[in-house]
Amino acid sequence: MERKVSTFDLTIGMHVANLDRPWLDTPFLLQGFIIEKEADIQALQQHCKYVFIDTEKGEEATSYMDEKPTLPSSKYVEDFLEGGKKKVEYEEKQSAFHELPAAETALETASDKVAMLMDNLKAGDNLDVTAVRQAVQPILESVIRNSDALLWVSEMQKKDAYTYSHSLDNCALAIAFGRHLGLFKEDLRNLAMGLLLMDVGKVKVSDDIINKTGTLTVDEFEEMKNHVHYGVNLLRNTPGINETIINVVLTHHERYDGSGYPSGLKGKEVPVYGRIAAIIDCYTAMTGNSSYRASIAPHKALQTIYNWRNKYFQDELVEQFLQCLGVYPTGSLVEMSSGEVGMIMAQNRVQRLKPKIMMLLDENKKPYEVSKIVDLTVDTTDASGLELSIISGLQSGAYGIDPTKVLED
């Protein structure tokens, strides 16, 4: 049986059956050989990123790049998606407005810790699991009290370091989605840690590839995909990281139709937390700026994900994700029937088209001196007495609005 192995995980006694490139492009004389000495490993590392070993003809590896998940899916979530009841019904213990200060503090603390974690890993230090938990816990507590405030603040505090902000967005959204699904607190923590750490393997990928603005070459893309393997390896060697978290990292790029990587798993072969992570990662990637892609409006990202249901993503999970975020997600900009422009501050869980909105621009697109809060379940008409409603979602930064300045104003 052939298995994919990084050349940095090779040992003497393994049988190399195939390479990541044609044999003729390398100096190896035999197409298939047993590794007999360290010089063989060094030569393979010089010419290849990974190889395929035959485990029936030689020694096995301790780590494979085509690794399969080792834990089954959460039976509770699977049952819930098939029409079951939630295990936990969370209540809003705080209004979004009153939760804002705690949400800001939680996100700022987490941002500092994640930046420190990634920098330390790049410097060759071990992963600090205590720091990971300390980053996740305040976010977890805030989202449990109120599911809107932190998502709103997250949009306000986009950081320049895409990888860091992307990880934090994933973590916060994982907790909000898990809360919506009724997960127990410990399950929320595991899911959040998995989403926070799922790109941790990118610290092993060259900055030239991570920050490249153009299209990646075939080799560069293969190396980028290797971040999954690098991340899993790193976490397996870190005490305190459980298998649930590792499975999230391992499967967040798998797709429901089998078109993902690293193992091409299909349907429910992917653990449900991996299926959840895939949706969240795709959404935050589309709505966040990166070095190679401009962001799109949140409602358009949701539309795209909806169109990909039962292809890349499980239909039932997509439906629940849309219910969780609402038609116009918290933190997104919207244009009103009055001509005003506002930002979604809190969702209405019963009437999805009637959220709370912070109005930022008047009907002439001029900034309000003092922002006003509109609750569409109460404030049903505009200044002219006409029905007030959302007519469209807007891209982040529309009309020159700087999300990072909204809370300051």
Q: Which two tokens mark 274?
A: 């991996």
Tell me the pLDDT tens digit for each residue of 177-228: 999 999 999 999 999 999 999 999 999 999 899 888 888 998 899 899 999 9
Tell me the pLDDT tens digit for each residue of 375-399: 999 999 998 999 999 999 998 889 9
Report the pLDDT value the prediction gives residue 253, as an integer from 0 to 100.
Answer: 97
Which residue reads 């939630």 in tokens? 86
Residue 389: CB partners within 8 Å, gap ≥ 6?
336, 337, 353, 376
**Strands 367-375, 390-394: parallel, antiparallel or unpaired by DSSP?**
unpaired
Cis peptide leading into residue 262 (ω within 30°):
yes
- Rounded to an integer, what distance in angstroms lies between the CA atom of residue 203 and that of residue 306? 32
Residue 200: CB partners within 8 Å, gap ≥ 6?
118, 121, 127, 231, 234, 235, 249
Which residue reads 């992307």 in tokens? 166
Distance of CA 256 to the CA centre of its chain: 16
- Picking from 86, 81, 129, 77, the residue whose alpha carbon sits closest to that of residue 273 is 77
Which residue reads 């006003």 in tokens? 372
What letter does residue 238 receive in the DSSP assignment? S
* Domains annotated on the chain, with CATH: 2-54 (no CATH), 75-325 (1.10.3210.10), 333-406 (no CATH)
Tell me the pLDDT tens digit for each residue of 218-267: 889 989 999 999 999 999 989 999 999 999 999 999 999 999 999 999 99
- Rounded to an integer, what distance in angstroms lies between the CA atom of residue 224 and that of residue 228? 8
